[in-house]
Amino acid sequence: ELKVEQNPLFLSMQEGKNYTIYCNYSTTSDRLYWYRQDPGKSLESLFVLLSNGAVKQEGRLMASLDTKARLSTLHITAAVHDLSATYFCAVDIYTGTASKLTFGTGTRLQVTL
């Protein structure tokens, strides 16, 4: 059974600081996603990582993938309050007829002023 673990589960950081969220998964994957979720809202896709060594950046967020280590990271640079949300990684396994996302536990990020 595929296991996807994130850490930390909760992260409180000050504006302007840097931090990294980690996502470990237990089996080979076809794709890895990072999503953002605001309270009571849906899942907003941030990044799709397709291959080993993939790195993607958007604004203050940068995601990377190491398929050999089965590890993805989401790095936050110079955090701002607007980044406060819950971040999920999700591993995509293509089953032959459809994909199936297995989500991590989520990291609740709180950026304080």
Partner 1 sequence: EPEVTQTPSHQVTQMGQEVILRCVPISNHLYFYWYRQILGQKVEFLVSFYNNEISEKSEIFDDQFSVERPDGSNFTLKIRSTKLEDSAMYFCASSGIGQSYFGPGTRLTVL
Residues that bind partner 1 (CB under 8 A): 31, 33, 40-43, 45, 48, 88, 90, 92, 95, 97-106
- Least distance to partner 1, CB of residue 15, Å: 25
| DSSP conformational letter for 78 | S
Of the two residues 25 and 104, which places its CB atom closer to partner 1 in the complex? 104
The nearer residue to partner 1, 19 or 103, going by C-beta atoms, is 103
CA atoms of 97 and 104, how far apart (whole Å) = 23
Please give the full DSSP string across 37-65, using - where no structure is assigned.
E-TT--EEEEEEE-STT-EEEETTEEEEE
Nearer to partner 1, 17 or 100 (CB): 100
Measured between alpha carbons, how far is 105 from 102 in angstroms, rounded to an integer? Answer: 10
Smallest separation, CB 75 to partner 1 (Å): 21
